[in-house]
Amino acid sequence: MAAALREITGGAAILKVANQDIGHTQGGIEFTYTKGTRNRVVDRYGNSPVDVINIGDEASVTAPLAEWSEAVLQEIFQQGTDGTSDPTPYMGLGRRAGSYYEKKRLDIVPIAEPDDTKAITLWACCPTGEISVMHDNESDRILSQQFIACIDETQDDGELIGKIYVGVDRGSESA
């Protein structure tokens, strides 16, 4: 494999949920992929693995959402009552246990060319985790949200969670 400086990437990205730009972020969008594995060991070799077996992979995205907007609040508080058409618009908080979150496609698309073709697409994501918002004079109110990727059984094995594009035109798959 030849080294190529042009393959070094960096810079900001936009976050799309269900093909819609979710708005500005502050501090960068973090994609995390964890390979779930277990080691196969046999008595003859002690604790040294003879094989490594996949037991399921996990992917998540953490995005510090900078816009306090209807679109952002609807995505991260989707389990709450949507009162955005109310005379005093709001999003409700809290649901009974056992409620399902709606799974939506999520795309992280680099802003700068030519890196905009090096996107990450996750087929079925749900908002999860804690949301903490600081109200003070020293900072903006940022809604840091984590999204977890779920399996999409309609996709091929090896692409059940999503795709990382390596710099080619995504064509009809682009968001």
Specify the CATH number for the domain of residue 131.
2.40.30
Q: How many CB atoms lie within 10 A of CB 26?
A: 14
Residue 165, domain member (yes or no): yes
Q: Quick one: what percent of the chain has pLDDT higher than 90?
A: 53
Pairing of strands 13-17, 162-164: unpaired
User: Distance (Å, rounded) from C-alpha 31 to C-alpha 106?
Assistant: 11
Per-residue pLDDT, 137 = 92
The partner residues of 59 in beta bridges, in order of sequence, read: 33
User: Distance (Å, rounded) from C-alpha 67 to C-alpha 91?
Assistant: 15
Residue 152, domain member (yes or no): yes
10 secondary structure, DSSP code? -
Residue 5, domain member (yes or no): no
166 secondary structure, DSSP code? -
42 secondary structure, DSSP code? -
Per-residue pLDDT, 37 = 97
Domain that holds residue 19: 11-170
Residue 37, domain member (yes or no): yes
DSSP 3-state of 103: coil
| Structural domains in the chain (count) | 1
User: Distance (Å, rounded) from C-alpha 104 to C-alpha 90?
Assistant: 22
Residue 2, domain member (yes or no): no
User: Distance (Å, rounded) from C-alpha 22 to C-alpha 65?
Assistant: 8
With a cut of 50, list the residues of the chain below it in pLDDT.
none
